Amino acid sequence: MRTEPQTDDRRGFGVKLAAIAAAALAFGTPLVAGLIVLLDPLRRRNPSGRFLRVASLAAVPADGIPRSFPVVAERRDAWNRFAAEPIGGVFLRHMKDGQVTALNGICPHAGCFVGFDGTRDRFACPCHKSEFRPDGTRIDPERCPSPRDLDALAVEIRGAEIWVRFENFRAGTREKILA
Amino acid sequence: MRMLFDWFDDRTGIRQFVHAALYEHIPGGSRWRYVWGSTLVFTFTVQVVTGAFLWMAYSPSAQTAWESVYYIQHEMQGGWFLRGLHHYTAQAMVVLLALHMMQVVVDGAYRAPREVNFWLGLILLQLVLALSLTGYLLPWDQKGYWATQVATKLMGVVPGIGDKLQSLVVGGPNYGHHTLSRFFALHAGILPGLLIAVLVAHVALFRRHGIHARDPDPSRDSTFWPDQVLKDSVACLAVLVVILGLVARHAITGGETHARPADYLGADLGAPADASEPYPAARPEWYFLFLFQLLKYFEGDKEIYGAIVVPGVVMFAIFLMPIVGRWRLGHGFNVGLLFCLLIGVAGLTVQAMVEDRKDPRFQQAVAEAEASARRVKQLAQSPTGIPPTGAVTLLRDDPMSEGRKLFARYCAVCHSFQSDAGEGLAHAQAPSASNLHGFATRQWLSRLLDPKGVDSVDYFGATKHREGEMVSWVKENLAELDGPGRENLRKAVIALSAEAALPAQRAADAKDAKQAAEGRELIKSQLGCIDCHRFHDAGELGTAPDLTGYGSRDWLIAFVSNPGDERFYADRNDRMPAYAPHADDPHRNDLSPKQLALIVDFLRGDWYEPRPGR
């Protein structure tokens, strides 16, 4: 003879709850263990705000034409450390009055490297056709895909050398937000 | 045997299972228009099989991904074919998805009770697109690297969580090892797993509802096996033939001819990813080009509309199709919407392609990208091989590639580098210093010692030396040479050029060793060079550049390091910067010893050249 299954509602609810809780705990443990590791990148940030030597003054003729220079610094990629690797590119512009300005070479729209087109006297982004003047301002802010001008970087002249505080900013935003 | 089978059937019910699978009723008989779903299952199977074998040879890390794909493509037997199959089948899947969806919408096969299955199909579509997006990065070549950068940067525009999302997908603030391992886990594990789960549900629901036939003729009813299976199989074969044609397309069009099939058949492999190397030829796969083009229409901070809102609204409209289709006019609306979308997508794709084709700068960027891809493969196949630091160092250590770039950055501001035929570097401004193409070759020196050549812009440019002593000496003394005088000058040129020991003149230098010896004596005596120059043990330093080892590697490195040195122009140096004057403190120099050597080796044409035939 089979006995009728227990039909006491309150007891039934308790059993169901316990069953769900036990299963969730059992199956959830490996999932949570994995998620904790998956979320690790949220803790990591680029070191920024360092002044780095980019070039000597003599290497940038004082003619106001932006010239591209690599930024070389220590770079870490997960377990690897590279003592001196190119970590980005800047455009240096040495004006006739001796002033030096620096622009990050990355287009604020989607993160492509812009190029300076000397024949048309403007920066042009190869990806979505943003265009900037030699000082980094957008030529047509209304229609330019880039939401802001090229990102200017702080420059210090130390002796005969150009030092730049190299920073990357978030793409696609109107404001300059550190990436 | 039969008894054994009966026993197995009794325990498992296999007969009924197989019967249900094969003898599904098809009202109105088998039709060609039902094949699309089966071709998709077929192409997915091809991807699972080829992908599993590629997996066995692939290594996802920033220093091994490109390298292992290179090895598959160029070194492993049949590797190019396996990779080609995987690559082009992925493209075929996208096309077949579009066809399958068109067939379902046009036939109205999304209507009750098939709504849920239509939605499962949309999920499958998204999964296939996600698979191709993640797969594009895995070879870690410039093309995939920069195109995927754009895609992940766009995630950053999602309000609120954008940057966190981006960081999680990329595996850190920058692209690197963890970007590859994450993308690979998605591409080979999580996405295919999800796809299989949804596909099983999709097929099970399809079987539950039966095939959706329009106006079936009951007298022609048949079953899945064998009628429809035959049509499906023929369709799969046809798809395979198209894929094979794409894998071998360069052999069919006969555009390129190479010694080895891996060099031009199957899927492309660009130069290895380099975060510091801009890649103006970056474009997504062709079936994402419409999204790329769409982005150009959303300026400034309206980007989120092009990247997320518009595609989201379109997907939602497609999602609503089964519900809209309930109304009498709804079905017509759905079909119209789908065709408008397809026309829009096709229009944007064509527009993107036409814009690129008409853009000479893009075409040049593509040609440069192809050249550096060819070059890095030459270097990988050279006796040096690929070092443990990865193939990207091959290009960074290659005078032909990196030396050229360094020359363009540091030297081309003043110097040109162009042969008479126009080879070399394009130049934007008028050069103010010498043309260094073929520096120290016999040809270059002959023209320097020619009264008609010496004061051209190719030698002293716009420097004060153009009106200097060398120019006037050449004009005075070498204008009216007689036969023996010309012969002596020729020998002196051979001797001086031999000082450089240029790789391209190695054979000629060896052949003319005797004339060079005579020439050396002439330089020291009759010709009077040592009145100003030093040459080996004769003449003094300080008045003109030392001719000992003129144009050799050491001479050039010393010259570029400090042209104002006593050995070179001393205090007569006109504007040439000293690039490495601080021998004791290299950090203060503009050029590191390695960069200097790369520029000098580039000038001397001293780089690895593959032997013909390889």
ipTM associated with this complex: 0.82
Q: Does A173 touch chain B (CB under 8 A)?
A: yes
CA angle B184–B188–B191, rounded 5-degree value: 105
Span B385-407, average pLDDT: 94
Q: Inter-chain contact A42–B168, Cβ cutoff 8 Å?
A: yes
> Given this model, what pLDDT does residue A56 score?
87
Q: Inter-chain contact B156–A77, Cβ cutoff 8 Å?
A: no
Q: Inter-chain contact B590–A39, Cβ cutoff 8 Å?
A: no
From A5's Cα to the closest Cα of chain B, the distance in A is: 30
How many beta-carbon pairs under 8 angstroms link A with B?
133
Question: Is a pLDDT exceeding 60 seen at residue A112?
Answer: yes
pLDDT band for position B576 (cuts 50, 70, 90): confident
User: Which residues of B are less than 8 Å from A38 in CB distance?
Assistant: 168
The SS3 call for residue B223 is strand
Span A82-104, average pLDDT: 90
**CA-CA-CA-CA dihedral for A127, A113, B413, B416, to nearest 10:** -50
pLDDT band for position A132 (cuts 50, 70, 90): very high
Q: Does A142 touch chain B (CB under 8 A)?
A: yes
User: Which residues of A are less than 8 Å from B362 in CB distance?
Assistant: 126
User: Which residues of B are less than 8 Å from A85 in CB distance?
Assistant: 276
| Chain B, nearest residue to A39 by Cα | B168
From A13's Cα to the closest Cα of chain B, the distance in A is: 31
pLDDT band for position B269 (cuts 50, 70, 90): very high
User: Which residues of A are less than 8 Å from B577 in CB distance?
Assistant: 56, 58-59
pLDDT band for position B614 (cuts 50, 70, 90): very low
From B164's Cα to the closest Cα of chain A, the distance in A is: 6
Mutation pick from A127, A158, A161, A174 vs chain B, by most beta carbons of B within 10 Å, is: A127
pLDDT in tens, B283-300: 888 999 999 898 888 876
Whole-number Å distance between alpha carbons of B249 and B499: 50
Question: Is a pLDDT exceeding 90 seen at residue A18?
Answer: yes
- Measure CB to CB from residue B156 to each of A80, A119, A170 and give the nearest one: A170
Pairing of strands A152-153, B25-26: unpaired
pLDDT band for position B210 (cuts 50, 70, 90): confident
Q: Inter-chain contact B295–A85, Cβ cutoff 8 Å?
A: no
Domains of chain B: 33-275 (1.20.810.10), 399-604 (no CATH)
* HEC string for chain A: CCCCCCCCHHHHHHHHHHHHHHHHHHHHHHHHHHHHHHCHHHHCCCCCCCEEEEEEHHHCCCCCCCEEEEEEEEEEECCEEEEEEEEEEEEEEECCCCCEEEEECECCCCCCECEEECCCCEEECCCCCCEECCCCCECCCCCCCCCCCCCEECEEEECCEEEEECCCECCCCCCCCEC
Span B313-329, average pLDDT: 93
Specify which residues B141 forms β-bridges with: B272
From B564's Cα to the closest Cα of chain A, the distance in A is: 14
Q: Inter-chain contact A79–B409, Cβ cutoff 8 Å?
A: no
Span B354-379, average pLDDT: 93
User: Which residues of B are less than 8 Å from A79 in CB distance?
Assistant: 177
Q: Inter-chain contact B304–A105, Cβ cutoff 8 Å?
A: no
User: Which residues of A are less than 8 Å from B429 in CB distance?
Assistant: 118
Q: Inter-chain contact B156–A117, Cβ cutoff 8 Å?
A: no
Provide the whole-model pTM. Answer: 0.89
User: Which residues of B are less than 8 Å from A44 in CB distance?
Assistant: 167, 172-173
Whole-number Å distance between alpha carbons of B320 and A103: 47
pLDDT band for position A126 (cuts 50, 70, 90): confident
> Given this model, what pLDDT does residue B429 score?
64
Stretch among A128-142, B126-140, B177-191, B242-256 having the lowest mean pLDDT = B242-256
Closest C-alpha among B266, B260, B211, B274 to residue B30: B211
- Measure CB to CB from residue B150 to each of A61, A80, A112 and give the nearest one: A112
Question: How far are the Cα atoms of A102, A155, B370 from residue A165, in angstroms, in the given order?
Answer: 9, 7, 34
Stretch among A55-59, B135-139, B350-354 having the lowest mean pLDDT = A55-59
Q: Does B167 touch chain A (CB under 8 A)?
A: yes
Span B84-93, average pLDDT: 97
Q: Inter-chain contact B577–A58, Cβ cutoff 8 Å?
A: yes
Span A134-153, average pLDDT: 90
Stretch among A164-173, B242-251, B486-495 having the lowest mean pLDDT = A164-173
pLDDT band for position B168 (cuts 50, 70, 90): very high
Q: Does B365 touch chain A (CB under 8 A)?
A: yes
- Comparison of pLDDT for B514 and A172, the residue scoring more: B514
Question: Is a pLDDT exceeding 80 seen at residue A11?
Answer: no
Q: Inter-chain contact A41–B172, Cβ cutoff 8 Å?
A: yes
Q: Does B558 touch chain A (CB under 8 A)?
A: no
Question: Is a pLDDT exceeding 70 seen at residue A3?
Answer: no
Residue B182 CA neighbour count, 13 Å, CB half:
22
Asked if A171 and A177 count as a contact pair (C-beta separation under 8 A), the reply is: no
- Comparison of pLDDT for B556 and A65, the residue scoring more: B556
User: Which residues of B are less than 8 Å from A53 in CB distance?
Assistant: 587
User: Which residues of A are less than 8 Å from B185 in CB distance?
Assistant: none
Q: Does B299 touch chain A (CB under 8 A)?
A: yes
Q: Inter-chain contact B278–A89, Cβ cutoff 8 Å?
A: yes
> Given this model, what pLDDT does residue B67 score?
98
- Comparison of pLDDT for B75 and A174, the residue scoring more: B75
Q: Does B606 touch chain A (CB under 8 A)?
A: no
> Given this model, what pLDDT does residue B595 score?
92
Residue holding tokens 């920073």?
Answer: A167
| Chain B, nearest residue to A143 by Cα | B299
pLDDT band for position A173 (cuts 50, 70, 90): confident
Q: Give the pair of three-digit tokens for residue A58.
A: 């003599």
- Comparison of pLDDT for A2 and B426, the residue scoring more: B426
Q: Does B172 touch chain A (CB under 8 A)?
A: yes
Q: Does A4 touch chain B (CB under 8 A)?
A: no
Q: What is the pLDDT of chain B when averaged over all its residues?
A: 91
Q: Inter-chain contact B174–A143, Cβ cutoff 8 Å?
A: no
Q: Give the pair of three-digit tokens for residue B26.
A: 């098809």
> Given this model, what pLDDT does residue A8 score?
65
Q: Does B173 touch chain A (CB under 8 A)?
A: yes
Question: Is a pLDDT exceeding 70 seen at residue B602?
Answer: yes
Q: Give the pair of three-digit tokens for residue B429.
A: 């401004």
CA B77 from chain centre, in angstroms, equals: 23
Whole-number Å distance between alpha carbons of B301 and A144: 10
pLDDT band for position B73 (cuts 50, 70, 90): very high
Top mean-pLDDT range of B72-76, B208-212, B260-264: B72-76
The SS3 call for residue B369 is helix
Stretch among A79-83, B287-291, B301-305 having the lowest mean pLDDT = B301-305
From A7's Cα to the closest Cα of chain B, the distance in A is: 34
The one-letter amino acid code at B412 reads A
Question: Is a pLDDT exceeding 60 seen at residue B558?
Answer: yes
Q: Does A163 touch chain B (CB under 8 A)?
A: no
- Comparison of pLDDT for A121 and B603, the residue scoring more: B603
Q: Inter-chain contact B154–A110, Cβ cutoff 8 Å?
A: yes
- Please, what sign has the CA dihedral across residues B44, B50, B54, B55? positive
Residue B226 preceded by cis peptide, ω within 30: yes
Stretch among B250-264, B289-303, B595-609 having the lowest mean pLDDT = B250-264
> Given this model, what pLDDT does residue B37 score?
93
Number of Cβ within 10 Å of residue B597's Cβ equals: 18
Q: Give the pair of three-digit tokens for residue A84.
A: 């001196």
pLDDT in tens, B242-258: 999 999 988 887 766 66
Interface of A with B in 82-141 (CB under 8 A): 85-89, 105, 109-113, 115, 117-119, 124, 126-129, 141
From B184's Cα to the closest Cα of chain A, the distance in A is: 14
- Measure CB to CB from residue A179 to each of B63, B173, B177 and give the nearest one: B173
Q: Inter-chain contact A112–B156, Cβ cutoff 8 Å?
A: no
